[in-house]
Amino acid sequence: MTATATDAATPGAAAAPVRVVWSTEMLGYDFGVGHPMTSDRIDLTIALAAGLGLLDEPGVEVVDAQPASDALLATVHDPAYVAAVHAAAERGVADPDRGLGTRDDPLFPQMHEAAARVVAGSVDAALAIWAGQAPHAVNVGGGLHHAMPGAASGFCVYNDAAVAIRALLAAGVSRVAYVDIDAHHGDGVQAVFWDDPRVMTVSLHETGAALFPGTGHPRETGGPGADGTAVNVALPSRTGDAGWLRAFDAVVPAVLRAFEPQVLVTQHGCDTHRMDPLASLRVSVDAQRLAAERLHVLAHELCDGRWLALGGGGYAVLDVVPRAWAHLIGIATHRPVAPATPVPDAWLDAVRQRYGRTAVPVMTDGAVVEARPWSAGYDPADDVDRAVRATRAAVFPSLGLDPELD
């Protein structure tokens, strides 16, 4: 089965092929049986994208990656931490103070190599975009946004998004925007660029008062000399499609337009979904698809199409992650999949044989997503509106925007 749209249906189709980062070696990033961060998420996504015909066209280039060098990792991560990851992988040496050998980040033999490969995949894709070798690129194995310069955190060993952004800056990019729509705050990327006015980090997430990592409050707006470049929308638990997209529309386009990035990097953790076991938002695959479409359009509007899309969280392994990220791949490759498209029978059969259960058989949750625009007025009795207003009040003035009008 093939996707149901053509290049002409989406702005900015280009002669250079869109890159999808993938090889079977990418499945090495896996914390073991029973851990939520299973590589099955990536394996099933790529298999579904292939079954939908998204990877076969001449305008799509599937590329692998070799592990990043220690020198590349050290552009973001402390050399002592990189050495500790090597020791963890090669000799099984736990270092809980650096997050290695913890419940979230247990040791596994390929820990360094697998995590470094994810980094290289994102960096190579980012530099290809900047060099004009690809209009867009997708690395669904990337988006490891919790890793800190000196520690693993939240299932993330190395921060591929931060290393890719640092590589873009070194290549001459003046302004990079990072938008994170994972249910969890993109704390690691924010921390790396807290004081850097060349990078805007935008995170739309479930409130840290209820969910790991406990950060991402509206008052977090950037360090000295970079105020207004950290943008955080902390949504109430159980926020559904209408509120989630209302918050997105009320903040993300305005701050990106004010910042005028040259490259857009986005993280598409799909643990916002109502079926996800680790978060409490109530978003559908349909709303996640619409957010990806909006980001694609913004990349063309603001960045001449230069867009790197990464995966991230998402732990409803069979019913959500493959569909959400196959939609992302379809959008990025200019072959968006119609929501009503059936999931290929061969993919469903493979899931049934492998897991002993059926998966959702269509690429939609059947949600009719309508979001009231911010211009329609602020409702002080609405929890989502109060969260959005707090963000706009905290950050919009620093960007020259009117929090009441823009």
Where do we find the tokens 């591929």? 160
Contact 334, 18 (CB under 8 A): yes
What is the Cα–Cα distance from 398 to 123, expressed in whole angstroms? 30
What is the Cα–Cα distance from 344 to 374, expressed in whole angstroms? 38
Contact 338, 363 (CB under 8 A): yes
Choose, from 145, 146, 296, 334, the residue flagged as catalytic. Answer: 146
Q: How far apart are the first and last CA of the chain?
A: 43
What letter represents residue 157's amino acid?
V
The CA–CA distances, whole Å, from 264 to 109, 131, 139, 165, 256 equal: 34, 14, 14, 10, 9
Query: Up-side HSE of residue 343: CA atoms within 13 Å toward CB?
Result: 26
For residue 328 the two structure tokens come to 């992302």
The CA–CA distances, whole Å, from 171 to 3, 133, 167, 176, 254 equal: 35, 14, 6, 12, 27
For 226, the 3-state DSSP assignment is coil
Backbone angles phi, psi at 259, to 5 degrees: -80, -30
**Is 185 one of the catalytic residues?**
no
Ramachandran region, residue 391 (left: φ > 0; alpha: ψ -120 to 50; beta: rest): alpha
The CA–CA distances, whole Å, from 256 to 179, 232, 236, 379 equal: 9, 13, 23, 24
What is the per-residue DSSP string for 29-97? ----TT-S--THHHHHHHHHHHHTTTT-STTEEEE--PPPPHHHHTTTS-HHHHHHHHHHHHH---BGG
- What is the greatest pairwise CA distance in the chain? 59
**Number of alpha helices (DSSP H) and beta strands (DSSP E) in the chain:** 11, 8
Q: Which residues are marked as active site?
A: 146
